[in-house]
């Protein structure tokens, strides 16, 4: 029995030490997402929290770190959406209008990739207003893409969820920039 206690105590101590940083980062993510979701109707708290927590670096990130993570999430989603559109365009089942909308979206997302890369550089240089311009252009691209499908009655966008995700991730980034610029984080 005496041998069991030291192992149990060591295990318990390691468990406590491992959960402290996660708890602090969880708290930062929760408070940040609550704050920005409360102040921006485009942001869903659970989407924000789940997105930021999914990034491996979020476990030990500061607010400034979460800002960069949010930009990276936009980048990953823009890149993945562009790739998805490219695959959809290979499918010959699309009517000419839908195919044109997909082509337009492909161009919009292709243009968004250098914008998000530039946003990352601006963020590293603490040029937050310039970050906002780049991220807003990406947000606009996702909206323009989705709106293209809505211009013709009966056409259903195969990109609705992806466009909404890019839009919301961009909104999270813009809200995080506001908090960082105010110096409250």
pLDDT of residue 9: 34
What is the C-alpha separation between 52 and 73, in angstroms, rounded? Answer: 8
For the chain, list the domains and their CATH numbers: 4-182 (1.20.140.40)
pTM above 0.85, yes or no: no
- C-alpha distances out from residue 81 to 8, 113, 142, 166, 167, Å: 48, 11, 10, 9, 12
pLDDT tens for the 185 residues of the chain, in order: 444 444 333 333 334 334 434 445 468 999 999 999 998 999 999 999 999 999 988 888 999 999 999 999 999 999 999 999 999 999 878 999 999 999 999 999 999 999 999 999 999 999 999 999 999 999 999 999 999 999 999 999 999 999 999 999 999 999 999 988 887 44
Coil, strand, or helix at residue 38? Answer: helix
CB 156 within 8 A of CB 149: yes
What is the C-alpha separation between 35 and 184, in angstroms, rounded? Answer: 11
pLDDT of residue 181: 86
Helix and strand numbers (H, E) in the chain are: 6, 0
């Amino acid at each position: 029995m005496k041998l069991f206690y030291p192992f149990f105590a060591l295990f318990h101590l390691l468990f406590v030490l491992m959960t402290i940083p996660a708890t602090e980062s969880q708290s930062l993510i929760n408070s940040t997402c609550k704050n920005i979701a409360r102040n921006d109707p485009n942001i869903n708290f659970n989407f924000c929290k789940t997105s930021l927590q999914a990034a491996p670096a979020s476990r030990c990130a500061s607010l400034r770190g979460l800002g960069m993570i949010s930009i990276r999430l936009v980048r990953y989603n823009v890149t993945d959406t562009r790739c998805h559109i490219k695959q959809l365009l290979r499918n010959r089942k699309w009517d000419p209008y839908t195919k044109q909308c997909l082509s337009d979206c492909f161009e919009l997302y292709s243009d968004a990739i250098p914008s998000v890369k530039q946003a990352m550089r601006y963020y590293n240089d603490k040029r937050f207003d310039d970050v906002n311009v780049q991220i807003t252009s990406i947000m606009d691209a996702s909206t323009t893409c989705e709106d293209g499908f809505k211009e013709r009655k009966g056409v259903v966008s195969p990109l609705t969820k992806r466009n909404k995700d890019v839009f919301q991730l961009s909104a999270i980034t813009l809200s995080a920039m506001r908090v960082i610029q105010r110096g409250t984080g």
